[in-house]
Amino acid sequence: MDIAIQTQRDHGTHPEGASAASGKQHERPNVAAVAVQRHKKEALHRLLQEQLVDGSDYGERGWPQMKQLIETNRLSPIARFCD
């Protein structure tokens, strides 16, 4: 069985309802929680779209600093970047 469908059934969000094996009854998702989640997805989508069309060189300027911070604060002795 597809893992996504099984997960939806286990959480009661699949149209066919919960699986018989889980013993859960089909429950309606919390309307307010679904609305909040949809709002967050839409906001993230807008932000990503803005970043894709942004012509600034922020990434080119910021990446060396981020790379240095990642290397400085790594938790293993293995280097993260091969420069």
Q: What is the pLDDT of residue 55?
A: 72
Which tops the pLDDT comparison, 7 or 73?
73
**pTM of the full predicted structure?**
0.37
**Distance between CA atoms of residues 73 and 83, nearest Å:** 17
Q: Considering all CA atoms of the chain, what is the largest pairwise distance in Å, rounded to the nearest integer?
A: 55
On whether the CB atoms of residues 5 and 14 are closer than 8 A, the answer is: yes
Q: What is the pLDDT of residues 4-45, one digit of tens each?
A: 556 566 656 555 554 445 555 667 778 999 999 999 999 999
33 touches 43 (CB < 8 A)? no
